[in-house]
Chain A
Amino acid sequence: MKWADAITAGLAFMFLSTPAVAEGFGTQGAAQLYDTYCAQCHGMDRNGKGINTVGLSVQPRDHTDAKAMGDVPDDQMFLAIQKGGLAVNKSILMPAWESVLTTEEIAGLVTYLREVCDCGNK
């Protein structure tokens, strides 16, 4: 793991393990962010079938899939949102959202995704 990734993972752990931050941001705020930025690919129903996915070479993750989501640690999820798919050896089609979303918002989205998949914290 590169130093930059290690620092990011540490930051992710810090944010994600601070309940006040994630809870303070709230499910509603995270759901709105999801609708704005994520649902175009991951679907309004969070099922990976967003409007952009027809003909896409790599299908986005189904965030309601408890088993598949349960295998992804929180820090990897944080990194994927912040730095994009390539940062976690996934598709370039998942862009890096660090220029749009704050660290707190990304942490809130990770917490929200655990609610969507109903697969607990990792």
Chain B
Amino acid sequence: MKKILLSLAVTTAAFAAPATSAADLDQCSSCHTLEAPAEGRNDHFQQRKGPDLSYAGLKFNQPWLVEWLQNPTAIRPSGIYYGHYAKADASGQDKVDAADLPKHPSFDASEAEDLADALMALKANPGGIEEGAFSGKGRGRFGKLAFTKLRGCKGCHEHAPGEGGVSGPELYTAGKRLQPDFIASFTAHPQAIEPRTWMPTLSMNAKDIQNITAFVLSLSKGDE
């Protein structure tokens, strides 16, 4: 019964999308994959200009999309692929100058609403994004320990501005940006969702996944 309702909801959402949705999203397709999950090629991650959006409706929170499309900011501090922007300073240390990063187009409120509606209708699950993946019972305190010390997440992701690695997307706004089930699913099985992406499948148990998801969600609330 649950599956039937879900199927009905997805179908309804597709029919309920504004008539202009397809045209709206055309402008996105030069930088984003919209229609199918990305192939598992490492050069795809070097060449793409923006994240794959074919499963945007399973990934993002609509209110965040509406807000971000009006005032886009860099989610990946080093750009979509750091290799395009990393430059060694005099000491040989690689750094990325934020001024070098391309700016995402911004839209007015009405356009942002339409685009967000269209994006939320994209639900081509590549496999691995599981409804109910986040139980809601994770303990953020333990998640913080796993994130910052035990599991190495901090090596690539910022959990606060200026704290953590910069090759991956920053996670201090992830709670507003991403659906909890996506965070838990991607943390557990990143390669099932985006084969060959930078994030490897880490050796974590179910509690780790729940705790880290709870921690990441807490970052946007300012209560970590």
Contacts and interface: CB of A to CB of B under 8 A. Distances in A.
Interface of A: 32-33, 35-37, 39-41, 43-45, 47, 49-56, 84, 91-100
Contacts of B131: none
A94 B200 CA distance: 11
B153 to A, nearest CB: 10
A56 B46 CA distance: 24
B167 A53 contact: no
A99 B94 contact: no
A50 to B, nearest CB: 5
Contacts of B88: 43-45, 49
Q: Which 10 A-B pairs give the minimum distances between C-beta atoms?
A: A52-B165, A99-B201, A40-B167, A49-B93, A93-B155, A95-B200, A92-B152, A51-B94, A36-B42, A93-B152
Contact of B42 (A32, A43, A50, A91): A32
A40 B202 CA distance: 17
B191 interface: yes
20 contacts: A35-B83, A36-B83, A39-B82, A40-B156, A40-B167, A43-B92, A43-B94, A45-B94, A49-B88, A49-B92, A51-B82, A52-B167, A54-B93, A54-B95, A92-B151, A96-B200, A96-B202, A96-B203, A99-B200, A100-B200
A45 B83 CA distance: 11
B83 A39 contact: yes
Interface in B88-110: 88, 91-96
Listed residue (A40, A44, A47, A53) with the most chain B CB atoms within 10 angstroms of its CB:
A40
B150 A51 contact: no
Contacts, number: 93
Contacts of A99: 191, 200-201
Overall SS of chain B's interface: loop
B83 A44 contact: yes
B49 interface: no
Contact of A39 (B86, B155, B163): B86
Interface of B: 42-43, 45-46, 78, 82-83, 86, 88, 91-96, 150-152, 155-156, 163-167, 191, 196-198, 200-203
A100 B44 CA distance: 14
Contacts of B150: 92
Contacts of A49: 88, 91-94
Given A32-B46, A96-B203, A45 B92 contact: yes
A44 B156 CA distance: 16
Given A37-B42, A51-B95, A44 B86 contact: yes
Contacts of B82: 39-40, 51
Nearest to A45: B88
Contacts of A100: 191, 196-197, 200-201
Contacts of B156: 40, 52
Nearest to B40: A100
B1 to A, nearest CB: 35
A93 B152 CA distance: 5
A43 B17 CA distance: 45
Contacts of B96: 51
